[in-house]
């Protein structure tokens, strides 16, 4: 299958204001550093990593919500990074986003109906009022809310319901790609499953592609066809779900997977988890060579000097580690 969206060598940098009287040069935080991937129609690519690994910045960089410092995002034959602002706005009909905090991502002064109808107003201004309303009602019903709720405000809904509203807003312009930035992380367990299933249903019905960003490996495993693991802005490993969870090759992926608590009292965590020691290095001053080397159990001198390339361990399975053949 051909790629719907191709991301090549994308980097997202933030410049922090120069602090102090004498430090003149602003600091640069490399949130995303040289990340490439493809997203195919109808598939979900899970992006996993811990706090500060740049997974959210990656999603925002792809959608041009932050301006990438380098790299290309190819969408329908054009590079989004090179397009003028007006042209990007037209592409937003097809490229949508769902945020983590369901309540704070909805304007508290607008009704649910207005919130869901807004993308239609922007992208289909010619649509008659009645048609618009019909489509909003159908969309609300599709995400599991009663259309009669359209005149209510976000503060009257629970977290899970607000996330349904966000999904309706993202879906109503019939996009082809949705970036889901931790869409279920702030929800309760029983609501998480509802939202995950809703996204899976919508994907089955519409063939939409999802870039599913999460720190929760269990959910990424449930949602994704392929997985991309990030650490300090760089890709550590990427591969199909079965290969990745079945036989992770990168020592970081292995530690990450083994650290997930398994709901089974007969498997005590102390024995099976490969606990990483040490602290996450500051993203302002990442280690030289391989960014993971300071916590890696397999680190050797070459890791200090050379950044490992993404080696192909198997077709479609890339590992950025000097010692991947030994893992």
Partner 1 sequence: MTPVIECQQLNVRFRTDGGAVTAVSDLDFNLNAGECLGVVGESGSGKSQTFLAMFGLLAHNGTATGSIRYRGTELLNAPRSTLDGLRGNRLAMIFQDALSGLTPTMRIGDQMSEVLMRHQGLSRRNARARVIEALEVVRIADPEQRFSAYPFEMSGGMRQRVMIAMATLCRPEVLIADEPTTALDVTVQAQVLRLLNGLKNHTGTSLVLITHDLGVVAGLCDRVLIMYAGRAVELGPVRDIFRRPAHPYTQALLRSMPSLIIDPGKDLPVIPGQPPDLENLPAGCPFASRCLHTQDDCTTERPRLRAVGPDHSRACHLPA
Partner 2 sequence: MSARPDLLGSEALAQAARGDVSRSLWRQAGRRFRRNRAAMGSIVILALIALTSIFVPMFWPHGIEDASWESIMTPPGLADWHWFGTDANGRDLLVRTFYGGRISLTIGLLTTVVALVIGVTYGAVAGFVGGRTDGFMMRFVDVLYSLPLIFFIIILVTVFGRNIFLVFVAIGAVEWLTMSRIVRGQTLTVKAKEYVESAVAIGLSQGAILRRYIIPNVLGPVIVYVTLLIPTNIIVESYLSFLGLGVQEPLTSWGLLISQGAGQLDSAPWLIFFPATFLAVTMFCFNFIGDGLRDALDPRDR
Can you give the binding site for partner 1, defined by CB under 8 A? 50-51, 158, 160-161, 188-194, 196-197, 200, 215-219, 221-223, 241, 245, 255-270, 273, 275-280
- According to the binding rule CB under 8 A, does residue 127 interact with partner 2? no
Cβ atoms 230, 213 nearer than 8 A? no
Report 191-250 residues binding partner 2 (CB under 8 A).
194, 197-198, 201
Which residue number, 146 or 267, has a Cβ lying nearer to partner 2? Answer: 146
CB of 267 to partner 1, least distance (A): 8
Which residue number, 82 or 189, has a Cβ lying nearer to partner 1? Answer: 189
Chain centre distance of CA 291: 21
CB of 201 to partner 1, least distance (A): 8
Binds 104: which of partner 2, partner 1, none (CB < 5-8 Å by kind): partner 2
Binds 267: which of partner 2, partner 1, none (CB < 5-8 Å by kind): partner 1
Is residue 161 classed as helix, strand or coil in its secondary structure?
Answer: helix
Give 58-120 as a DSSP string: HHHHHTTSS--SEEEEEETTEEGGGS-HHHHHHHTTTEEEE-S-TTTTS-TTS-HHHHHHHHH
Q: Could you give the CA distance from residue 118 to residue 180 in angstroms, rounded to a whole number?
A: 19
Binds 264: which of partner 1, partner 2, none (CB < 5-8 Å by kind): partner 1
Binding mask 130-169 for partner 2 (x = CB under 8 A): -----------x--xxx-xx-xxx-xxx--xx--x-x--x
Burial of 2 (0-12, 13-18, 19+ CB in 10 A): exposed
Please give the size of the binding site for partner 2, defined by CB under 8 A: 46
Binds 166: which of partner 2, partner 1, none (CB < 5-8 Å by kind): partner 2
Binds 313: which of partner 1, partner 2, none (CB < 5-8 Å by kind): none
Handedness of CA 284, 288, 291, 296 (dihedral sign): negative
Which residue number, 140 or 276, has a Cβ lying nearer to partner 2? Answer: 140
Q: Could you give the CA distance from residue 321 to residue 252 in angstroms, rounded to a whole number?
A: 10
Q: Could you give the CA distance from residue 259 to residue 201 in angstroms, rounded to a whole number?
A: 30
Element (H, E) at 6: strand 3-16
Which residue number, 34 or 50, has a Cβ lying nearer to partner 1? Answer: 50
Binds 218: which of partner 2, partner 1, none (CB < 5-8 Å by kind): partner 1
Binds 123: which of partner 2, partner 1, none (CB < 5-8 Å by kind): partner 2
Nearest to 93 by CA among 115, 119, 62: 119
Which residue number, 205 or 264, has a Cβ lying nearer to partner 1? Answer: 264
Binds 106: which of partner 2, partner 1, none (CB < 5-8 Å by kind): partner 2
In this structure, what are the phi and psi dihedrals at residue 318, rounded to the nearest 5 degrees?
-105, 140
Q: Could you give the CA distance from residue 70 to residue 66 in angstroms, rounded to a whole number?
A: 12
Query: What's the number of CA atoms in the CB half-sphere (13 Å) around residue 115?
Result: 28
Q: Which residue has the tokens 């986003």?
A: 97
Interacting residues toward partner 2 by CB under 8 A? 63, 65, 88-90, 92-93, 96-97, 99-101, 104-111, 118-119, 122-123, 141, 144-146, 148-149, 151-153, 155-157, 160-161, 164, 166, 169, 173, 194, 197-198, 201
């Amino acid at each position: 299958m051909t790629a719907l969206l191709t991301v090549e060598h994308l980097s997202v940098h933030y410049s922090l204001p120069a602090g102090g009287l004498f430090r003149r040069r602003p600091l640069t935080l490399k949130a995303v550093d040289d990340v490439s991937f493809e997203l195919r129609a109808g598939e979900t690519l899970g992006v996993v990593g811990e706090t500060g690994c740049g997974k959210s910045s990656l999603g925002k960089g792809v959608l041009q919500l932050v301006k990438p410092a380098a790299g290309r995002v190819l969408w329908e034959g054009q590079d989004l990074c090179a397009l003028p602002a007006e042209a990007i706005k037209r592409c937003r009909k097809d490229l949508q986003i769902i945020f983590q905090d369901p309540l704070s991502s909805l304007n508290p002064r607008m009704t649910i109906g207005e919130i869901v109808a807004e993308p239609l107003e922007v992208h289909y201004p010619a649509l008659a009022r009645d048609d618009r309303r019909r489509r909003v009602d159908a969309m609300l019903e599709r995400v599991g809310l009663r259309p009669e709720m359209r005149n209510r405000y976000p503060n009257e809904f629970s977290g899970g319901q607000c996330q349904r509203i966000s999904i309706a807003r993202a879906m109503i312009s019939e996009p082809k790609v949705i970036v889901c930035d931790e869409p279920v992380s702030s929800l309760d367990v029983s609501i998480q499953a509802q939202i995950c299933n809703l996204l899976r249903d919508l994907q089955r019905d519409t063939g939409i592609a999802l870039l599913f960003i999460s720190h929760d490996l269990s959910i990424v495993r449930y949602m994704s066809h392929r997985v991309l693991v990030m650490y300090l802005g760089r890709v550590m490993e990427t591969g199909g779900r079965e290969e990745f969870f079945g036989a992770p090759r990168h020592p970081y992926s292995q530690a990450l997977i083994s650290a997930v608590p398994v709901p089974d009292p007969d498997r005590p965590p102390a024995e099976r988890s490969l606990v990483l020691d040490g602290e996450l290095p500051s993203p302002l001053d990442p280690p030289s060579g391989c960014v993971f080397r300071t916590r890696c159990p397999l680190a050797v001198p070459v890791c200090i000097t050379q950044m490992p390339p993404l080696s192909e361990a198997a077709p479609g399975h890339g590992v950025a580690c000097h010692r991947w053949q030994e893992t």
